[in-house]
A and B are shown apart, each in its own frame.
Chain A
Amino acid sequence: MEQFQVRGTATRRAPGSRRQAIIGVNASGNLEVLIERVLPDNECLVEVATAITGFRDLWEAVITEFFERSSPGGLRFSINDTGARPETVTLRLMQGLRIMEDEQ
């Protein structure tokens, strides 16, 4: 198992008023993402726990690209992973961001 964080800066606060959401299931080739609106508006963070070791560089590339594309200011993403492919990770992060846009 490997655990690490990827921090980013955001140009805007992620829209919506939802405080938290969860998407995905931690199963083989899949991951769950818990999203919480707990950070200052110009910060974002992904915490990764993955059962598969040795792919930190790839994770950082995927997450950095997500930060640049989406600027999810104020959100902390916590991931439990069992070997999801990069496009699945991007998909789940985008799904999570979309759910947080809902008004509560």
Chain B
Amino acid sequence: MSIVQPHEAHWFEASARERIAGLLDPDSFTEFLDPSQRAMSPHLAQFNLTGAFDDGLVVGSGRLKGEVVFVAAQEGRFLGGAFGEIHGGKLVGLLRAARDLASKNGPRGVLLLLDTGGVRLQEANAGELSISETIHAIIEARLAGVAVVALIGGRAGAFGGGGIVTACCSRIIVSQHARIGVSGPEVIETNKGVEEFDSKDRGLVWRITGGRTRALLGGADRYVRDRIKDFRAAAIDLMANAPPFSAATLAAEQQRLADRLQRYGECRDAPEIWRKAGIFEPDRIADISDDAFLAVPRPAGASHDAR
């Protein structure tokens, strides 16, 4: 279908459909509500916008190294991958189905290929509601024993409600391109001024929100090269080792975050944290190759089972 072998392709450049094709076992994907069913946004036309036949979210079932999984992939280039009514409804429905089928030989896990700026402004109320429902559905799926794994490395990152959704997952996989946050850089600058956060300083944006920072601080569980096959290998590994979701898990994560705040709360930029953490050449973290970065030992409190 694609000229580039999807398995070898870069995650960042790939479409939502190409990511799914390369992530899952070959030809194992079955789409729910495929484009020909035209489950499209009813709101965009009044803003003179054309929709997408899948409303920017591809959902379905497939196999990951033989195990049945559900998968949802946001298309970050369509309206910034943002959550709207149909888009959110498809995601919530998928997660609830995973929850309901968990005790009936259903999917082992759900893979969330997030690539989103958050809520779609044109249908904001529906989008906000769908974020809340998604969070609820992730928690219920995890309580039912389904691992929910976030995979992030696209153009839009995971911002707004997408950042909160990410943090609710069992495990998080990122590449260097991945940016995770709630208020995006432009939002912070608009509200607090350029002295607080210069959104045009790309180095700063990546040092604060980027995949390497998230991985070193424990905001992501696995850092991978920007290759679909690397995301696949990490997903196989993490799916098999996802922690149970319990009060003890939450208490441990709360303690880990409190300790982290205690340790690094005064720092103004990421290299200050790396220096405190004793990382060799802290100012070069953003510049080294992926292979060199993968060899950097994680600071204390970043490797954890408390998500």
Residues of A in contact with B (beta carbons under 8 Å apart): 1, 20-22, 25-27, 30, 32, 34, 36, 49-51, 78, 80-82, 99, 102
Contact of B53 among A30, A34, A81, A82 (CB under 8 A): A34
Do residues B36 and A51 form an inter-chain contact, with CB atoms below 8 A? no
16 extra interchain contacts, Cβ-Cβ under 8 A, other than A1-B45, A32-B53, A34-B35?
A: A20-B34, A20-B36, A22-B17, A25-B52, A25-B78, A26-B78, A27-B77, A27-B78, A36-B36, A49-B50, A49-B51, A50-B50, A51-B50, A78-B53, A80-B50, A81-B50
Closest chain A CB from B290 CB (angstroms) = 26
Does chain A have a CB within 8 A of B221?
no
Q: How many chain B residues touch A (Cβ–Cβ < 8 Å)?
A: 17
Top 9 nearest A-B pairs (CB, nearest first) are A27-B77, A80-B50, A49-B50, A1-B48, A25-B77, A22-B35, A26-B52, A51-B50, A34-B35
Do residues A32 and B52 form an inter-chain contact, with CB atoms below 8 A? yes
16 contacts between A and B (CB under 8 A): A22-B53, A25-B15, A25-B77, A25-B78, A26-B50, A26-B52, A27-B78, A30-B77, A32-B52, A32-B53, A34-B35, A34-B53, A49-B51, A80-B52, A81-B50, A102-B1
CA distance A1 to B45 in the complex (A): 7
Does chain A have a CB within 8 A of B75?
yes
Do residues B36 and A82 form an inter-chain contact, with CB atoms below 8 A? no
Residue-wise interface mask of B (223-234) relative to A, using a CB-CB cutoff of 8 A (1 in contact, 0 not): 000000000000
CA distance A30 to B36 in the complex (A): 20
CA distance A99 to B17 in the complex (A): 14
CA distance A27 to B75 in the complex (A): 10
- A34 CB contacts on chain B under 8 angstroms: 35-36, 53
- A82 CB contacts on chain B under 8 angstroms: 49-50
